[in-house]
Amino acid sequence: MTNNVVSFYAPITSTTYGVFDSGYKYMFDRFNNTFRYVPLNGDIAGTCARTDIEQFPWFSPAGTARGSILNSVKLIYNPKKQRDILYSNRVNPVILQPGAGIVLFGDKTGFGKSSAFDRINVRRLFIFLEDAISAAAKDQLFEFNDELTRTNFVNIIEPFLREVQSNRGIFDFVVICDETNNTGAVIDRNEFVADIFIKPARSINFIGLTFVATRTGVDFEEVIGSV
């Protein structure tokens, strides 16, 4: 089954706007009074909607906190043992987790390269930012491209980004909108330029734990210094 899932997604073009999951769930169809297998893609979209309601778009929709798959009796395929194989092939495993139920256990996009944009939360962060900043930029249309207009734009964008930063969406940012990127040539073309650099927050995908057995009575500081 794992090979079939990987083979199914392998030919699909690399994209940061797509998300792949590991299959189907078995659920009760109350409209037709029967049980049936249903693709999980609607549930994955639902985890994103839940994340928007409970947190912000830049939080990961995966894991036990926000990735629960509801209204599910069982999975057609529970890839818990094969999840690392699936994950390395852009497929987000949906697994039965003891004590937590059925959970989305990955937050990769369909991007085939290692990048900040190979994570769902980063792609959704930038969709959110691009929409908001584009709206602010449109307000500058038909204004003079001078110091006052550029300062007004920066004074809109920086507080907005600071709010996202305070809500854990980004680590840091820089907004440049001055005479260095709005040169005379840019102004003569009736254009307006702003360069915005953003360091997005990343979700934790792997956790390493080290356990060290010590003799009774040994000082922990002594042990830590030798590890």
Confidence (pLDDT) at 227: 47
Confidence (pLDDT) at 70: 95
Alpha-helix runs per DSSP H in 10-109: 41-54, 83-87
Confidence (pLDDT) at 205: 67
Confidence (pLDDT) at 9: 92
Confidence (pLDDT) at 201: 87
| DSSP secondary structure of 143-187 | S--SHHHHHHHHHHHHHHHHHHHHTTSEEEEEEE-STTTS-HHHH
25: closest CA among 11, 43, 51?
43
d(CA 200, CA 209): 25
Helix (H, G, I), strand (E, B) or coil at 108: strand
d(CA 203, CA 11): 27
Q: What is the pTM of this model?
A: 0.86
Confidence (pLDDT) at 202: 82
Note down pLDDT in tens along the chain; length 227 residues: 888 899 989 999 999 999 999 989 999 999 999 999 999 999 999 999 999 999 999 999 999 999 999 999 999 988 888 889 999 999 999 999 989 999 999 999 999 998 889 999 999 999 999 999 988 888 888 999 999 999 999 999 999 999 999 999 999 999 999 999 999 999 999 999 899 999 998 877 666 655 545 455 545 454 445 54
